[in-house]
Amino acid sequence: MTVTVELHGRLADGAPSRSWSLDIPGQSCRVEDAVRAACAVVPGLGGGLDGIAFAVGDRLVSRSAEIVHGDVLSLLPPVSGG
């Protein structure tokens, strides 16, 4: 399956791209598995995941949530709006 990974805030700083397609074996996987796969692709990403939340589409999801082909998985660092 293929999902899109999006980096936001400080996670995007210095990354080769803010968004990319990630190929993952199988029909579905958990968010944490996709994140692990993303870290293998983007050097240094794994070291910056403290306090990171996850979203699929416009919904927050847990690390154990299931994602499927075509989903857009967003990695959200601690926020600073307002």
Tell me the backbone φ, ψ of residue 3, rounded to 5 degrees.
Answer: -125, 160
- Cβ-based nearer residue to another protein, 3 or 61: 61
Please identify which residue in 26, 27, 47, 50 interacts with another protein, judged by CB under 8 A. 50
Residue 80 lies near another protein (rule: CB under 8 A): yes
Distances from the Cα of 78 to the Cα of 43, 65, 66, angstroms: 20, 20, 23
Residue 35 lies near another protein (rule: CB under 8 A): yes
Tokens of 4: 């899109």
Q: How far is the CB of 29 from another protein (least distance, A)?
A: 16
Residue 52 lies near another protein (rule: CB under 8 A): yes
Binding mask 53-72 for another protein (x = CB under 8 A): xxx-xxxxxxx-x-------
Give the separation between CA 11 and CA 50, rounded to whole angstroms.
11
Tokens of 25: 């074996």
